[in-house]
Amino acid sequence: MRIGFVTLGKNVPSTRFRFLAMVPYLRSRGHTLRLWTGRPAAYDHIPAIGWRASQLLKRCVRWQQLLSARLFRPDCIYLERGVFHDNTLGFDRHFRRLTPRLVLDVDDAIFLTFPEKIPQLIAMSDHVVASTPTLVEYVAQHTAHWSLIPTSVSMERYQPRPFAQTDEATSGQAKPLTVGWIGTAPNVAFLSVCAPALREIARQQPFRMLIVAPHDRFLSSVDLSGVDVQFITWQAEREIEHLHLMDIGLMPLPDGQLWMRYKAATKLIQYLAVGIPAIASPIGVNADILDNSRVGLAATTTDQWVNALTKLLNDGALRRRMGQQGRELVTSRFSIEANAPRLEEILTTRSP
């Protein structure tokens, strides 16, 4: 079949994990794909020409892509959240007219930002794919045609972290362990949730705090005084390499914000996929993944973060066991290998 992907931007996490990662599998199955990706990306602008000119450029790019779609004549279009990250629906309707089947992907609580647009977008779609059970709860209020497909990673690409001597080390090791965080630049501020615990642990024993993000402009908002912090600029081609530098992964989320309940556990899945344990806020889908503390530890209060960090920093066997179980969990539930066939079935189903 001919399938078109309408996505937000090549480096937008949802584009990378929910669309681009599926391309090799679908092509291997004989489908012909076209990717129509936003340029500049949904949340970006080009500083040299300014915000307004960047928005005009985005629309010019989409007009070109509409022409491409008209010539391609897709059997199905897979749409990421909406053509633009705004209240407009005009381009969405244009793409809808060019295909007999439109499948909408929802991986974030965009309906909190656009409460009138998203129900209309769901109504014009033949099927909706949601990334978490909490998002399904919302989608199911507006359509009976939905599926749950979690954000997934390729186990072929996400090779396990090489076993290192530090895995068996305790607090007396010569080389400090590395606690890591990876994500988008604005979300670096979420580290404030566990920063008091990181500062307290740093007074007790040595460790390195590795932060991987596109830039460090938001890092100054987090008080990590006394913590040995290393910042690495995120690069897609080196993402696995940077994950392999970590002994423990962190996914703190601020409590009391409705948006957090709907977030996909992307970075948590990344940590587990390469075989490292994680400590995360038990909000939304995180709570389900961390159930029974098999693959990581949940923490809400500063004391819980301190206890979880202390436990994992000082028990190499526990880190290794949780890492192995985490990789097994991702393989069975959160991998491209497990979920791509389900997406293929959804995209290739003939709409009535």
Encode pLDDT of 19-69 as tens digits.
Answer: 999 999 999 999 999 999 999 998 898 999 999 999 999 999 999 999 999
Q: Which residue has the tokens 């199911």?
A: 140
Tokens, residue 251: 């996914």
Cross-strand partners of 2 = 32
Predicted local distance difference test score (pLDDT) of residue 293? 87
Residue ranges of the domains in the chain? 2-152+336-348, 165-333
Q: DSSP assignment of 61-114, as one string? A: HHHHHHHHHHHH--SEEEEES-SSSSS--HHHHHHHHT-S-EEEEE-S-HHHH-
Predicted local distance difference test score (pLDDT) of residue 174? 56
Q: Which of 81-85, 167-171, 230-234, 285-289 has the lowest average pLDDT?
A: 167-171
For residue 90, count other CB atoms closer than 10 A to its CB. Answer: 10
d(CA 138, CA 143): 9
Q: What's 2-152+336-348's CATH class?
A: alpha beta
Encode pLDDT of 125-152 as tens digits.
Answer: 999 999 999 999 999 999 999 999 999 9
Encode pLDDT of 163-202 as tens digits.
Answer: 654 454 444 445 899 999 999 999 999 999 999 999 999 9
Say which DSSP state 160 is in: P
Is there a contact between 141 and 118 (Cβ–Cβ < 8 Å)? no
Predicted local distance difference test score (pLDDT) of residue 202? 98
Predicted local distance difference test score (pLDDT) of residue 162? 87
In CATH terms, the fold of domain 165-333 is Rossmann fold (3.40.50)
Q: Which residue has the tokens 């949802």?
A: 14
Closest CA to 280 of 218, 150, 193: 193
Encode pLDDT of 94-130 as tens digits.
Answer: 999 999 999 999 999 999 999 999 999 999 999 999 9
Predicted local distance difference test score (pLDDT) of residue 351? 75
DSSP element (H, E) containing 32: strand 32-37
% of the chain surpassing 70 pLDDT: 97
3-state helix, strand, coil in the chain (%, to 5): 45, 15, 35
Q: How sure is the predictor about 221, in pLDDT bands with cuts at 50, 70 and 90?
A: very high
Predicted local distance difference test score (pLDDT) of residue 166? 47
Predicted local distance difference test score (pLDDT) of residue 326? 97
Cα–Cα–Cα angle for 232, 237, 242, rounded to 5 degrees: 40
Domains 2-152+336-348 and 165-333 share a fold: yes
Laid out side by side, the sheet with 146-148 consists of 32-37, 2-7, 76-80, 102-106, 127-130, 146-148
Predicted local distance difference test score (pLDDT) of residue 169? 45
Residue 291: pLDDT above 90?
no
Query: What does the mean pLDDT of the chain come to?
Result: 95
Q: What is the CA radius of gyration of the chain?
A: 21
